[in-house]
Amino acid sequence: MKDLKIGTKCVQGGYTAGNGEPRQVPIIQSTTFKYATSEDMGKLFDLEASGYFYTRLQNPTNDTVAAKICELEGGTAAMLTSSGQAASFYSVFNIASCGDHIVASSAIYGGTYNLFAVTMKRMGIDFTFVSPDCSDEELNAAFKENTKAVFGETIANPALKVLDIERFAKAAHDHGVPLIIDNTFATPVNCRPFEWGADIVTHSTTKYIDGHGVSVGGCIVDSGKFDWTKYPDKFPGLCTPDESYHGVTYTERFGLEGAYITKATAQLMRDFGSIQSPQNAFYINLGLESLHVRMKKHCENGLAVAKALQQDDRIEWVTYPGLEGDSEYALAQKYLPNGSCGVVSFGVKGGRKSAEAFMKGLKITAIETHVADARSCCLHPASATHRQMNDDELTAAGISPDLIRFSCGIEDAEDLIADIKQALDNI
Ligand SMILES: *Cc1c(COP(=O)(O)O)cnc(C)c1O
């Protein structure tokens, strides 16, 4: 599979049917797995043999779908989670605990910001947020003795800032920590962060990977490239025996390619249990099979809508990474040459009030706390997802109070533009 193109991996990755076996990935909707002897099962618990015993830890359907996403990203190991939130949480908590510190881009998904700044802070993990546009000096100054990782989004939701992954990877590596990238909006079809130096990738599979608004889910992929053993004092959880798991030292037993994901499975999934259901993993796989085809159309529509908005004098501003003249255009050309995503952000003249009136006028575009669906949808974050942020925090995250996030589906662009125009007429 390794040498195949991305579209072929979308369709065929992760699973090969044997003689007489199902062509489609089987849904193994079973909590448990049967063994002939206690010794057989004991070997699994000791991590001496690989196999399934309880779906909270591992399930064949989930593993198959995780393997496909792993191939798409070019990683060495991956796991599915019940949501993107769980993936973001596990990705950080797997290598940071009470007393540690993380550097994060300030332009990230509102739910992730809240997870970091409020909930994980309550757990004793401290975050320093830096603008993706900060200078190298500012970026380097954000690191502390106890920094354990850097976190950012390829394309920030909803600010649509494109992260300079190479620059952030270099800063992370200069300080001996990995770069974790939430690649939800770009998807591995449009950007593979490992190729730019990132070490771990997370996804909310709820978005483009599912693509049909069917199932909430997440995924974590490890590149296998970050050498934890160079910093055993910084990452004791990976480099010293885990007394809660049969005294296993993850880096010794599973190598750099498997240590991080095995630890996240054996400890975090065991204890927190944020598993994906096999049924949902099956739905995600159906989404993956057309991801490369849909992303093309999402991007085509995104660009058409962005251009139409740019030419409409009732629009105050438009942000779309693929739009020439956009602040992110140069970074998008570098990291997202085949297209960015289907999400366009803009402000209607007249500010917050006009934004609300515009939203009311939409006909085929639904108001939803969702993006990346085959059906177009639209959101005004300041009054919905980001309402916990004050104006300063909103500005730092690149979200103005008038920002409208328009997620272009895969309908015909002409109809989407017509819907926007009539909603503008209605203000
Ligand atoms: C939606 C989203 C998340 C959270 O994912 P859920 O599946 O809703 O838990 C995380 N990151 C980004 C970029 C998202 O868009």
pLDDT digits over 330-367, tens only?
999 999 999 999 999 999 999 888 988 999 999 999 99
**Locate tokens 């995780």: which residue?**
66
Give the C-alpha separation, 285 to 300, whole Å. 23
Contact, 296 vs 339, CB < 8 A? yes
The mean pLDDT value for 373-396 works out to 82
Please state, for a pLDDT cut of 70, what percent of the chain lies above it: 99
Please state, for a pLDDT cut of 90, what percent of the chain lies above it: 86
Residue 65 three-state SS: helix
- The answer on pLDDT for 389 being more than 90 is no
335 in any annotated domain = yes
Quick one: pLDDT band at residue 44, thresholds 50, 70, 90? confident
**What is the pLDDT, as a whole number, of residue 47?**
74
Residue of the CA atom closest to atom 4 of ligand 1: 84
In a shared domain, residues 66 and 102: yes
DSSP 364: S
Please state the domain count of the chain: 2
* 318 CA → ligand 1 middle, Å: 23
**What is the pLDDT, as a whole number, of residue 65?**
98
312 in any annotated domain = yes
Give the C-alpha separation, 414 to 233, whole Å. 57
- The answer on pLDDT for 9 being more than 70 is yes
- The answer on pLDDT for 132 being more than 70 is yes
52 in any annotated domain = yes
1 in any annotated domain = no
* 91 CA → ligand 1 middle, Å: 13
Note the pTM of the prediction, 2 decimals.
0.96
In a shared domain, residues 227 and 354: no
In a shared domain, residues 122 and 167: yes
* 386 CA → ligand 1 middle, Å: 13
Contact, 178 vs 220, CB < 8 A? no
Quick one: pLDDT band at residue 151, thresholds 50, 70, 90? very high
Which atom in ligand 1 lies closest to the alpha carbon of residue 156? 13
At 140, list the tokens: 């380097």
Ligand 1 residue neighbourhood (C-beta within 6 Å): 83-85, 88, 109, 111-112, 153, 157, 182, 184-185, 204, 206-207, 216, 218
Half-sphere exposure of 289 toward its Cβ, with a 13 Å CA cutoff?
Answer: 10
Instruction: Give the CATH number, domain containing residue 404.
Output: 3.90.1150.10
- The answer on pLDDT for 397 being more than 70 is no
Which atom in ligand 1 lies closest to the alpha carbon of residue 371? 15
Contacts of 109 (CB under 8 A, 6+ apart): 84, 153, 156, 157, 182, 184, 204
| Top mutation candidate among 88, 91, 106, 109 for ligand 1, by most atoms within 8 Å of CB | 109
- The answer on pLDDT for 278 being more than 90 is yes
Contact, 189 vs 10, CB < 8 A? yes
